[in-house]
Structure 1
Amino acid sequence: MKKSSFKLPLTRLLTVMLFGLLALGACKSKKKVVEAAPEPVPVEEPAPAPKPEPAKPSAEEVAVGKLEDYFNAVANATNLQSANNTIREALGMFSNQNTPVLIVIHEEAGVKDYDEPTTIEKYLHYLKDTQKNLNFISDIRMDGSGRVAELELRRR
């Protein structure tokens, strides 16, 4: 007579474990299939917002840039003729040749102390004579026609 192989405890245990592994393996693969089954729902993306245009510089900012260039050109001019030509061009940006130029020498708690007031014409000739531009524009006021009406400078 033949002995049944299921009667041995070790064989029985191995057989049960084999079926258990197969069952678990089958469940995992079904789970993967079930997880992969849902189709992704197409999501409509909102239209991209238009890129903001670069901020255009104000008239004051443009004037400050041009005036700084003129001041440096007058101070660094190689001869009197080129300095005088640059002065003539720069004066065209002002409401008149007597436009006040105020140079701040000290400021404390919002109170400003100014050097002796001068005019733009005198200041440009001062730059030509000293050949040094030691100040920068800290405030500018424009008139209604887009010309400079007052200029405030500070030491660098």
Structure 2
Amino acid sequence: MKKNLIAFSANRALILAVLITFAMGACKGKKKVAETAPPPPPVEQVKETPPPAPPAPAPEEVAAQKLEGSFNQIAAAGNASIANQSIEETLRMFSNQESPVLIVIHEENGIKDYDEPTTIRKYLEYLKDTKKNLNYISDIRLDANGKVSELELRRK
């Protein structure tokens, strides 16, 4: 009986070892199948388009901004030589020194009343003398060369 018991235990151990080997082989096979599975489809990324760049300012707007700065610089000049230098720099922006400057004193129903017309040189000298810039540019006209040919001002 001892032989049967040993033989029976050996058979059982052998069968148990084979089953464990199959079980481990089956687990490794599943891992390989799981590892070789195709990756999930990529998620589409929605790219946000940046907002469009603001349009470039018109030449009239650029000239008006430069002139406003020049007018303020002339009015705030510490002495006459600095003001005269600023006046000469500003006059280079105009087609000529006699370019008209119109100052609107009243407007009703689209009809404008102007102060006495003046020239740009006289207006710049006025700014230098009074040291006050009481007007702002309401309309500006440029010639074919991009220089200011006419200026319309209004009270601030």
State if a TM-score over 0.5 links the two structures: yes
The reply on whether 1:77 has 2:72 as its aligned counterpart is: no
Q: 1:146 — aligned with what?
A: 146
Q: 2:121 — aligned with what?
A: 121
Paired residues, number: 116
The reply on whether 1:54 has 2:46 as its aligned counterpart is: no
Q: 1:14 — aligned with what?
A: none
Q: Percent identity?
A: 64
SS of residue paired to 2:103 = strand
TM-score (norm 2): 0.70
TM-score (norm 1): 0.70
Structure 1 CA distance, aligned partners of 2:75 and 2:104?
20
Q: 2:5 — aligned with what?
A: none
Q: 2:37 — aligned with what?
A: none
- Structure 1 gaps of 5+ residues are 1-40
One-letter code of the match for 1:93?
Answer: M
Superposition map of 1:37-52 within 5 A: 44-52=44-52
Larger Rg: 2
Q: Provide Cα deviations, 1:60-103, integer angstroms capped at 9, x if missing partner.
A: 11111110011011111110000000000000000000000000
One-letter code of the match for 1:99?
Answer: S
One-letter code of the match for 2:99?
Answer: T
CA RMSD of aligned residues (A): 1.5
Q: 2:90 — aligned with what?
A: 90
SS of residue paired to 2:62 = helix
